[in-house]
Amino acid sequence: HEAVTDATRKDLGGGKLRGLGEVSPGAAADQALANLDDWTDEKWVSGWISRCYTRPEPKGVVLIIAPWNFPFNLALMPLIPAIAAGNCVIIKPSDMNPACSPLIQALVEKYLDNECIKVIQGKRDETTALLQQRWDHIFYTGNGLVGKIVLNAAAEYLTPVTLELGGKSPVIIDETAQMDTACERVSLYKWMNCGQICVAPDYVL
């Protein structure tokens, strides 16, 4: 975690706790390992003479396009369920993280199966080239404008897409609210990660 913290602080600033927030995929990986047998079991649906069941199967090859604001979290959190489901994965980290992105690649190459999981570095041209390929699923986290580009590229092959997009986040505070608590919580999420988080409040109603 020290290398992750150091790289995060180089790219994004902040104290040591900011870096520690990037290692949460470790807990998600532990959860996946603990539940993997149950998740992959055939599930009986119905039947008496014949047996009807659902059987989870891998989709195939998954593309993860990660943003810059949570470089490790948003590259590795989608990776965990993708691997748990039996897929091969390509990770495209943000080119705006000159310290974090190479470290993500180094960690993946050191600890994971390089025949099944790879990291591709680059900027717009490389991302465009990746989107021109045929994928079985695409994860994209970022802004709505690029999200439209991702969806448009995915439509060529009817590729399913998971989008986590930024946008306007209203906060509703009614007459039953305790104002001290409400103000603390709104302030926390407004300024968390300097406001670069998808749930940062934009306005209060």
Cα distances (Å, whole numbers) of residue 142 to 149, 163, 164: 11, 8, 7
Q: What angle do CA 15, 101, 12 make, to 5 degrees?
A: 25
From 57, 88, 116, 164, the catalytic residue = 164
pLDDT of residue 111: 95
Query: What predicted TM-score, i.e. pTM, was given to this entire model?
Result: 0.89
pLDDT of residue 161: 98
Write the burial class of residue 182 (CB in 10 Å: 0-12 exposed, 13-18 middle, 19+ buried).
Answer: middle
Q: Which two tokens stand for residue 4?
A: 């992750």
Active site residue 164: yes
pLDDT mean values, one per 10 residues, the chain (205 residues) = 91 83 88 94 83 91 96 95 97 97 97 96 96 97 94 97 88 93 91 81 87
Q: Which two tokens stand for residue 181?
A: 């608590």
Q: How many residues are given for the chain?
A: 205
Active site residue 198: yes
